[in-house]
Structure 1
Amino acid sequence: MSIFLLGAGPDAEAFPEVFDLFAAEAALRAAPGRSPRIAVAVHDSGGAPLNRLPEYAGPLQERIACDVVPVLLGNGGPADPAAFAGVDGVVVGGGLTPAYWKGINGAGHAIRDMVAGGVPYLGFSAGAMVAPEQALIGGYRINGIEVCGEECSEGLADLDFRQGLGLAPFAVDVHAAQAGTLSRAVGAVAAGLVDHAVAIDEGTAIILAAVDAREYTVIGAGTCWDVRGRAGRGPGLGGGAAVVTARTAEPARN
């Protein structure tokens, strides 16, 4: 079982590896003679989440014969936890992180139990951000100081951390190099809002081998920026300290 957290939305042509790996794990989870069932949770800011489903389901169905269980967020309330019962894989799409959190957090215990039991999880952008225990939902200021562009705020002013799905022990930010959100992750750790954050570039993913695993593997073409607090942090953004380590995919071995 693996937890795949991506720094952007789905792009099966530019970044096929993550679909390949997830599909293979979902197929292994299914009982012999049965097609794997994969729950795909999607939200659409225009109110038509069904239109977003092919972006995620299509690449999986091209790789394996599977039954897709649509979990359409924003249509009539939060997701029913029963929608994830008995699935062989869970996919959570990208878009507005607050909307994904609102739609899926009520099913968090069901998802965590499934993943802890060996079901692979694939989170794109917002689906990666809501996955941790402490989920970064949005925002662009800490104590009135801007730490990233307002266009990355998702409609929130101050950085907002909420109870997430509980799959990772560190916070996750996405579109790091492309949208400049690395500074938001650094600011969050320096201010003591979280002790550990990982900011993921587009075209890049981290893979955890188990729920709450502190170590991870990097795949893709970009960088994962590992941000950890340093002893001696003071209160507020100005008195804090953070250590940033840039991690990239290990080269393939012949």
Structure 2
Amino acid sequence: MGIFLAGAGPAYESFPDVFKRFVQDIPRECGESRPVRIAVVVHHRGGTPGIVLQDYAGPIQSLASCEVVPVLLGAGGPADPAVFDGIDAVVVGGGLTPAYLAGLEGCAAAIAAKVSDGLPYLGFSAGAMIAPERGIIGGYRIAGVEVCGEECSEDLDAVDVRAGLGLVPFAVDVHAAQAGTLSRAVGAVAAGLVARAVAVDEDTAIILNDDGHGDFEVIGSGHCWDIRWTGAGCSVSVRSSGQ
């Protein structure tokens, strides 16, 4: 099982490793008797998700022979769970996090079942934030106090924690150093909204190990911050690639 959570959107030229590792993680038996089928889920604020599809599908198709199954959110209501039948891997793109969660809410069980069976999941930005059992979906204030910039709010006021896809046991925030959302992740743990959060930089991703304890590997050029509640306050550990 491979769960890849990237701290920003797709940037193949500056951060190809996350695509390469994801493709390598597709089970070898997939594609032996038929093309590998990869579901690529995208949303677009302008209502035309198809225009960003190739940002995600293009790098994957350059690395592996596969059939891309587009899942275009906001182009006719929430996604149908049946679209994930016969899928060998799942990619969820970046953009407006609440829109991704709303579009995939009815598909959480189907996606979780696929991942549990060993198929890889790759989430970029919003796709990383909705992956947890309970995830930080947006917002910029806790108890009325700003914990990050309003431009990172995802159109929400109070920091909002909701049930996600159920793939990882901790909340995830993204664009950590670059957008200042590290403070939102720390604030969410300090306020008791979540017990643990991992904030991931741009050009950086975490890859979860299948150990049941939420351990992970860091790849890329940035850092990630693992924030946990200890009972007496927040404990923060900083990790980078190779650690």
TM-score range, shorter chain: over 0.9
Q: Deviation digits for residues 104-129 of structure 1, max 9, x if unmatched?
A: 11100000000000110000000000
Offset of 1:37 from its aligned partner? 0.3
Q: Which runs of 5+ in 2 are unaligned?
A: none
User: SS of the counterpart of 2:47?
Assistant: coil
CA distance in 2: counterparts of 1:39 and 1:52, whole angstroms: 14
Offset of 1:33 from its aligned partner? 3.6
Offset of 1:212 from its aligned partner? 5.2
The residue identity in structure 2 corresponding to 1:87 is I
> Equivalent residue for 2:199?
199
User: SS of the counterpart of 2:226?
Assistant: strand
C-alpha contact 1:26 1:38 (8 A) present in aligned 2: no
User: SS of the counterpart of 2:55?
Assistant: helix
CA distance in 1: counterparts of 2:139 and 2:226, whole angstroms: 20
> Equivalent residue for 2:104?
104
> Equivalent residue for 2:173?
173
The residue identity in structure 2 corresponding to 1:42 is V
CA distance in 1: counterparts of 2:73 and 2:210, whole angstroms: 26
Offset of 1:28 from its aligned partner? 2.1
Does residue 152 of the first structure (1) align with residue 144 of the second (2)? no
CA distance in 1: counterparts of 2:235 and 2:150, whole angstroms: 24
Offset of 1:209 from its aligned partner? 2.7
Offset of 1:210 from its aligned partner? 3.3
User: SS of the counterpart of 1:28?
Assistant: coil
> Equivalent residue for 1:242?
234
> Equivalent residue for 1:113?
113
CA distance in 1: counterparts of 2:3 and 2:30, whole angstroms: 17
The residue identity in structure 1 corresponding to 2:234 is A
Does residue 80 of the first structure (1) align with residue 48 of the second (2)? no
> Equivalent residue for 2:231?
231
CA 1:53–1:17 in 2, change beyond 3 Å: closer, same or farther? Answer: same
Aligned residue pair count: 243
Q: Which runs of 5+ in 1 are unaligned?
A: 233-240
> Equivalent residue for 2:51?
51
| Root-mean-square deviation (Å) | 1.3
The 5 A counterparts of 1:18-57 are 18-26=18-26, 28-57=28-57
| Larger deviation, residues 209-218 vs 47-56 | 209-218
Q: Deviation digits for residues 213-247 of structure 1, max 9, x if unmatched?
A: 41000000000000001213xxxxxxxx2111110
> Percent identity between the aligned chains?
60
C-alpha contact 1:7 1:201 (8 A) present in aligned 2: yes
Q: Deviation digits for residues 9-32 of structure 1, max 9, x if unmatched?
A: 001111111111111222625141
The residue identity in structure 2 corresponding to 1:203 is D
The residue identity in structure 2 corresponding to 1:100 is Y
The residue identity in structure 2 corresponding to 1:138 is G
The residue identity in structure 2 corresponding to 1:190 is A
CA 1:199–1:39 in 2, change beyond 3 Å: closer, same or farther? Answer: same
CA distance in 2: counterparts of 1:27 and 1:153, whole angstroms: 37
